[in-house]
């Protein structure tokens, strides 16, 4: 298993600093995600690792070997693209075998490895089909098999599920995670979807304007955001000045909606907030409630669906929150 070390990597396009002096270490066998909004530099950094984009400065190593000066085809990486990038004129087996043909692998060994790769992605028996005969999820499996068949040191994913419908994305991300762990291969995954990143990653690097905003395990990035950007990007939060919660400290705090409860369901020592319900949104198992406090501040609450507790716009409510769930953010 090869780890990846990125040292002081930078890349500029005209006046835009796409990647700004990034230092990052990905452990061998780790499922590591680059997360952030469009234009934050995550795909550029991935392409720098893959060899599709040169560095202006810095270096990249796989294990002890520096690879940023090597051509893409000799870096021994497998790449899975957003748009599948399959050849429509080739069969499934022909697509998967393409990288082996380029490496002049003997035909009998190539056929065996193609079958093994198709079995890994649950496409045994699909070798003779053409891409137009497959669903979106099956096409993505072909792309993954093609990346795996060359036995890469590192597997790279560039927004691989963004073209799939919501339900299929959920099942496919679980399959990708399970496959990566079963093979023990180092993987870097690019996405703008916070939920997707939280569900598959060992660690996440949250990027903003070419820089690393925060790096850590998913739970820490969600529960202990290091900045206002991290707090707001990683799901819904209440980003407030502490005085808006009746606290004297001159700081900003993040309070997640699920950290709030109705006062009669909370311990007696939790701080109380009184307000008027401004909006109720039922989302199946979850209900989101906006409450306007006496100061005019709107605070968002999320609670599991409770049919016995009807809340309507205009109701006066008292909320409570656990002080330990407040996170001070710069």
pTM: 0.91
Between helices 107-120 and 92-102, what is the axis angle to 10°?
A: 130
- Tokens 């709030």 correspond to 260
Structural Rg of the chain based on CA atoms: 24
CA-wise closest residue to 82 among 205, 236, 217, 192: 192
What residue ranges in 114-228 does DSSP mark as E strands?
154-158, 186-191, 203-208, 211-216
Alpha carbons within 13 angstroms on the beta-carbon side of residue 284 total: 0
pLDDT cut 70: percent of the chain above it: 100
CA-wise closest residue to 177 among 208, 160, 155, 199: 199
Predicted pLDDT at 306: 79
Average pLDDT over residues 36-46: 96
Predicted pLDDT at 166: 84
Average pLDDT over residues 223-250: 91
| Domain pair 4-232 / 237-329, same fold | no
* Band of residue 295 on the pLDDT scale cut at 50, 70, 90: confident
DSSP string, 84-129: ----TTS-HHHHHHHHHHHTT--HHHHHHHHHHHHHHTT-TT-TT-
pLDDT at 1 over 80: no
How many whole angstroms separate alpha carbon 46 and alpha carbon 178?
22
The architecture of the domain spanning 4-232 is 3-Layer(aba) Sandwich (3.40)
Alpha carbons within 13 angstroms on the beta-carbon side of residue 221 total: 29
pLDDT at 252 over 90: yes
3-23 tens-digit pLDDT: 999 999 999 999 999 999 999
Between helices 166-183 and 136-148, what is the axis angle to 10°?
A: 20
Give 215's contacts (C-beta < 8 A, 6+ positions apart). 24, 203, 204, 205, 206
CATH 2.40.50.140 holds for 237-329: yes
Domain boundaries, given as residue ranges, for the chain: 4-232, 237-329
299-321 tens-digit pLDDT: 999 999 877 788 999 999 999 99
- Helix (H, G, I), strand (E, B), or coil: what is residue 183? helix
CB 157 within 8 A of CB 190: yes
58: buried, middle or exposed (CB in 10 Å: 19+, 13-18, 0-12)?
middle
- Helix (H, G, I), strand (E, B), or coil: what is residue 246? coil
* Band of residue 246 on the pLDDT scale cut at 50, 70, 90: confident
CB 68 within 8 A of CB 234: no
Average pLDDT over residues 78-93: 91
Predicted pLDDT at 114: 94
């Amino acid at each position: 298993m090869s780890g990846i070390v990125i040292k002081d990597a930078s890349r500029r396009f005209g006046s835009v600093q796409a990647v700004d002096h990034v230092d990052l270490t990905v452990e061998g066998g780790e499922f590591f995600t680059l997360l952030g909004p469009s234009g934050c530099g995550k795909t550029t950094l991935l392409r720098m690792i893959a060899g599709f984009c040169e560095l202006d400065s810095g270096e990249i190593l796989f294990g002890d070997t520096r690879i940023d000066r090597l051509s893409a085809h000799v870096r021994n990486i497998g790449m899975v693209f957003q748009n599948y990038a399959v050849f429509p004129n080739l069969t499934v087996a022909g697509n998967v075998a393409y990288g082996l043909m380029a490496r002049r692998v003997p035909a009998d060994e190539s056929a065996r490895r193609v079958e093994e790769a198709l079995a890994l992605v649950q496409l045994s028996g699909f070798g003779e089909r053409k891409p137009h005969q497959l669903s979106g999820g099956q096409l993505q499996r072909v792309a993954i098999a093609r990346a795996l068949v060359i036995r890469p040191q590192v597997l790279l994913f560039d927004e691989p599920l963004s073209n799939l419908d919501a339900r299929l994305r959920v099942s496919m991300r679980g399959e990708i995670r399970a496959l990566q762990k079963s093979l023990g291969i180092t993987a870097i995954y690019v996405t703008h979807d916070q939920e997707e990143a939280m569900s598959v990653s060992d660690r996440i690097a949250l990027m903003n304007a070419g820089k690393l905003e925060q790096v850590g395990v998913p739970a820490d990035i969600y529960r202990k955001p290091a900045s206002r950007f991290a707090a707001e990007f990683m799901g819904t939060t209440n980003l407030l000045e502490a005085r808006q919660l009746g606290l004297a400290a001159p700081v900003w705090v993040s309070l997640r909606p699920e950290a709030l409860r109705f006062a009669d369901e909370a311990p007696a020592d939790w701080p109380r907030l009184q307000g008027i319900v401004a909006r109720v949104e039922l989302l199946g198992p979850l209900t989101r409630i906006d409450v306007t406090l006496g100061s005019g501040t709107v605070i968002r609450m999320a609670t599991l669906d409770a049919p016995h507790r009807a809340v309507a716009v205009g109701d006066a409510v008292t909320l409570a929150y656990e002080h330990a769930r407040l996170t001070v953010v710069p």
